[in-house]
Structure 1
Amino acid sequence: MVRVKKCPRNLTAVLAASSRLGCGRDVYGNRQYMCLPNVQKSSLVEFCYGDVMGMQEKGHCLDVSEGDLFVKSCTTFENGCPEEDFKNTDFYKFPACQIIDTIHRCYRSDPTCQGEKMKFRDEVDGNRSLPRDFIIFLIYFGILLLLFIVVLYFLRRKTGKKPAKLVQQSSISNG
């Protein structure tokens, strides 16, 4: 079992992690990669589960201890608790079951957890990257605007009109 800072949140990341660890498939062809909190909620661990991947009832999260899986009710969670039965291989679809407070040793979505609630909601809802993406957009927009102004300045300078020279016309009288 390998400690990790966060578990995969989509199938692509799960497949990459499974490949990295060299996880196989069970007798029914299910991937055996899992990433879960340990039962103490002191860390997240990723591992290749050595048994048949099963099903879990709605309203439960999975924990692990020494390779054994344990179910934990999540019906009191503020949000993110599985609302339908699910395959163990689909653990990544329920981030509320992986986002833990390692200091207070609890799920962040558990109302009794003393951890930071707002940050958790952002992570579960997938909105965590929204402010960062908006800031990146503003930076790119600012750079493009600055570039546009510089180009416009040089174009005006190159093609702009120069001050007109005063040409004195003298009238020559034919006399």
Structure 2
Amino acid sequence: MVQTKFAGFVLVVLIYWKPCNFAALPKWVHRVKSCPELNISQWIEASKRLNCFHEITSNDPKEQANVYHCLPSSYLNETVEFCSMNVPVAPGNCPTYNYKQSQNVAPSYYNCSRFESGCPQKMFFSKNVYKHPECLKINRDAKCFEQEATCKKSLRTHQTRYPVF
């Protein structure tokens, strides 16, 4: 009887189990379908919803430790939001959420110098990524930024293989 129930359980697991394309997240990081609209009022609203300690609009150096971020993950297959350290982002880079960084106390970076357009050319702070929309546009299936030439090719390939009716 126990063996039959166990076999049934295993069968159900094998039928319904799907490989997961996501890594585990800390409890303060949340997957979202997309980031807020590209205007500051939407980002302020999201910051309040997430209860980030510091205002995203604050320029006070003492209030940069816990501000709202919405970024692609370093795997480029998802978008996450979290409260974190506001850090400078060097020219030619986009901020990303990195699963591998110790406790993710601050965003990490992705070199966007191969973008066809939209790669930030001046230093900016990670909380202001909404001012750089190309840093937020990813192709989740191809796991790339849409502005990369190789990503555009995979977008066309994807559309060719899976036509929309």
Query: TM-score under structure 1 normalisation?
Result: 0.60
Match of 2:124 in 1: 86
Contact 2:71 2:95 in 1 (8 A): yes
1:71 Cα deviation after fit: 0.9
Count of aligned positions: 114
Q: How do 1:72-151 and structure 2 match up within 5 A?
A: 72-113=110-151, 114-115=154-155
- SS of equivalent residue, structure 1 residue 104: coil
Unaligned runs of 5+ in 2: 1-28, 55-59, 157-165
- SS of equivalent residue, structure 1 residue 15: helix
Unaligned runs of 5+ in 1: 117-175
- Is 1:59 paired with 2:92? yes
1:37 Cα deviation after fit: 0.6
C-alpha distance in 1 between matches for 2:71 and 2:155: 19
Q: Deviations over 1:122-164 (max 9, x none)?
A: xxxxxxxxxxxxxxxxxxxxxxxxxxxxxxxxxxxxxxxxxxx
- Is 1:11 paired with 2:11? no
C-alpha distance in 1 between matches for 2:87 and 2:62: 10
Identity across matched positions, percent: 32
Q: Deviations over 1:92-127 (max 9, x none)?
A: 1111111100000000011111225xxxxxxxxxxx
1:27 Cα deviation after fit: 5.7
Deviates more, 1:78-87 or 1:26-35: 26-35
Q: Which amino acid aligns with 2:124?
A: F
Match of 2:10 in 1: none
C-alpha distance in 1 between matches for 2:95 and 2:139: 16
Name which of 43, 57, 64 aligns with 2:78.
Answer: 43
C-alpha distance in 1 between matches for 2:32 and 2:147: 20
- SS of equivalent residue, structure 1 residue 3: strand
Query: TM-score under structure 2 normalisation?
Result: 0.64
C-alpha distance in 1 between matches for 2:155 and 2:33: 16
- Is 1:22 paired with 2:48? no
1:3 Cα deviation after fit: 1.3
Q: Which amino acid aligns with 1:29?
A: E
1:83 Cα deviation after fit: 1.6
Q: CA RMSD in A?
A: 1.7
